[in-house]
Amino acid sequence: MKIKTKSLPGSRISVELEIPAERCQNSYEEALSRLSRSIKLPGFRQGKVPRAVILQQIGVARIKATALEALLESVWREALTEKSIEPLSEPELKDSFETLLSSFDPSQNLNVTLETDIDPTPSLKTTKGLEVKAEIVKFDPSRVDELIEQSRKQLATLVPIEGRPAAKGDLAVVSFKGSYEDGTEIEGGSSESMDIELEQGQMIPGFIEGIIGMKVNEEKTLKCEFPKDYSQEDARGKKANFIVNLKELKNRELPSLDDEFAKQASDKTTMSELREDLENRLKEDAKKRQENNKKEALIKALVSQLEVEIPQSLVDQEVRILVEQTAQKFAQQGMDVKSMFTPELVKSLMESSKDEAKESLKRKLALKALATAEGIKVDEKAVEEKFQEISQELSNEGKIDPNRLREAIREDLSEDLLLKWLEENNKVIEVQPKQDPKKKESTSTTKTKKEKGATKKPKS
């Protein structure tokens, strides 16, 4: 069999095959033999049906199709081995199977062309002398007080408010039902009972402002407007009405900032210890974010030097990985992934993950190209030492796939080496952030009791 390969755009390869007539005929005879052993006809013993009768009963077209399928599978495996091809996807016929079948004559040589995606070969225009900018992350001492105040609010005693209307800073318990101006009900825009902090930014514009001044058991229609950048696309910029009933009004009695509070809010015994611990952790966090800024700036610069054609099958594979990771996160939070991840949701997630998948692949391929260009390799002894260390830490976590763990460790160590090399051979300029909004951590860094539903927003 003659085999000829040709590179195609998009990291694909074309494999042209000239299959000898003898091999075609053998495949046809084998197909006929297999089908004859399976056919059952009255008056004939199974496997002893005459050839002419089989051809009449099964038909030449079915025998040729069976022979062609087996032949293509066989020659494809042989071509992969002979030409050392590692395909990323199933082979595709240049011409359709039906077209090939219509011209298939077992007594003649068969010419067929198959195409498949292969691993791309990334390259970099340059690896040295790049100049990148990374934003400085500084420790902000005021964050210590902010975090303590957050914990203080979470540990506060809620006291019912009587004899006055709702005011800013109160905790309101409300029921509401929302609809757009045309009367269409807002999907997820209703609740029988929700705790809402009466603070700006907790809900869409007009909602909090409308509740302030209401009395307990009062019902009111609030006129609101969804922001133009609202997360739910079909609601962006739309005006809406919410029929709201103020069911309860509460105020927080904050605990005193003493050593007793420190014990309740954390594992520390005094306020000075708590403050010192928070300061150390915030400084460490700032340092990590600073390093991450450098890392992201260097990788972004490296990706800008990348020259590669990424095959679609590789993008599809990365998309599946991202969706699986999303499902795992939900499962770890105790959610029922099987019922939650409907075919429609999976399809939507796969579509929305394409850009992220492409960016993720570019990062991986850029680092791979750097490792190849500069001969940067991980010391396997270091991999084994780290493997033993982590294996002991995870000994109580159940069954662990050692091969996957080693590969993950190898990737992490490799990335560390590559980033170190990038920093040594390129220039990182530290710059002040363009804007410095105070970013609050999603969870307190102290141990606190969680207060349910205090800052929820309508899903509208």
Burial status of residue 399 (CB atoms within 10 A of its CB: 0-12, 13-18, 19 or more): exposed
Widest pairwise Cα distance in the chain: 101
Q: What is the 3-state secondary structure (H, E, C) of the chain?
A: CEEEEEEECCCEEEEEEEECHHHHHHHHHHHHHHHHHHCCCCCCCCCCCCHHHHHHHHCHHHHHHHHHHHHHHHHHHHHHHHHCCCECCCCEECCCHHHHHHHCCCCCCEEEEEEEEECCCCEECCCCCCEEEEECCCCCCHHHHHHHHHHHHHCCEEEECCCCCCCCCCEEEEEEEEEECCCCEEEEEEEEEEEEECCCCCCCCCHHHHHCCCCCCCEEEEEEECCCCCCCHHHCCCEEEEEEEEEEEEEEECCCCCHHHHHHHCCCCCHHHHHHHHHHHHHHHHHHHHHHHHHHHHHHHHHHCEECCCCHHHHHHHHHHHHHHHHHHHHHCCCCHHHHCCHHHHHHHHHHCHHHHHHHHHHHHHHHHHHHHHCCCCCHHHHHHHHHHHHHHCCCCCCCCHHHHHHHHHHHHHHHHHHHHHHHHCEEEEECCCCCCCCCCCCCCCCCCCCCCCECCCCC
Phi and psi (nearest 5°) for 188?
Answer: 75, 10
Per the listing, tokens 């970099």 go with 124
**What length does the chain have?**
460
Q: d(Cα 346, Cα 330) in Å, to the nearest integer?
A: 13
Each of the 460 residues of the chain gets a pLDDT tens digit; together they read: 999 999 999 899 999 999 999 999 999 999 988 877 776 666 666 656 667 777 777 788 888 999 999 999 999 999 999 999 999 999 999 989 999 999 999 999 999 999 999 999 999 999 999 999 999 999 999 999 999 999 998 999 999 998 999 999 899 999 999 999 989 999 888 999 999 999 888 899 999 999 999 999 999 999 999 999 887 888 889 999 999 999 999 998 999 999 999 999 999 999 999 999 999 999 999 999 999 999 999 999 999 999 999 999 999 999 999 999 888 888 888 888 888 888 888 888 899 999 999 999 999 999 999 999 999 999 999 999 999 999 888 877 667 788 889 999 999 999 999 999 999 999 999 999 876 444 444 333 333 333 333 333 444 3
Distance of CA 304 to the CA centre of its chain: 22
Asked if residues 124 and 307 have their Cβ atoms less than 8 Å apart, the reply is: yes
How far is C-alpha 364 from the chain's CA centre?
Answer: 15
The whole-number pLDDT of residue 439 equals 46
CA nearest to 113, candidates 253, 222, 4:
4
The whole-number pLDDT of residue 45 equals 60
pLDDT of residue 337: 81
Q: For the segment 137-188, what is each residue's pLDDT rounded down to a tens digit?
A: 999 999 999 999 999 989 999 999 989 999 998 999 999 999 999 899 998 8
Q: What is residue 40's predicted lDDT score, i.e. its pLDDT?
A: 67
Query: CA 292, 298, 303, 304 torsion: positive or negative?
Result: positive
Within a 10 A sphere around the Cβ of 171, how many other Cβ atoms?
24
Check: CB of residue 174 under 8 Å from CB of residue 211.
yes
Please report the pLDDT score of residue 442 as a whole number. 37
pLDDT at 232: 82
Domain boundary assignment for the chain: 2-119, 157-253, 260-431
CATH architecture of the domain with range 157-253:
Roll (3.10)
> 260-431 in CATH: which number?
1.10.3120
Pick the CATH number of 2-119 from 3.90.950.10, 2.40.50.100, 3.40.50.2020, 3.30.70.1050: 3.30.70.1050
**67-95 burial, b if ≥16 CB within 10 A, otherwise e?**
bbeebbeebbeebbeeeebebbbebeeee
Q: Do 54 and 28 touch, CB atoms closer than 8 A?
A: no
- pLDDT tens-digit readout, 393-443: 887 766 778 888 999 999 999 999 999 999 999 999 999 987 644 444 433
Please give the pLDDT value at position 459: 40
Tokens at 311, concatenated = 């095959």
Angle between helices 60-83 and 21-38 (to 10 degrees): 130
- Asked if residues 318 and 357 have their Cβ atoms less than 8 Å apart, the reply is yes
pLDDT of residue 77: 95
pLDDT at 48: 63
- End-to-end, the C-alpha distance of the chain in Å comes to 64
pTM beyond 0.95: the answer is no
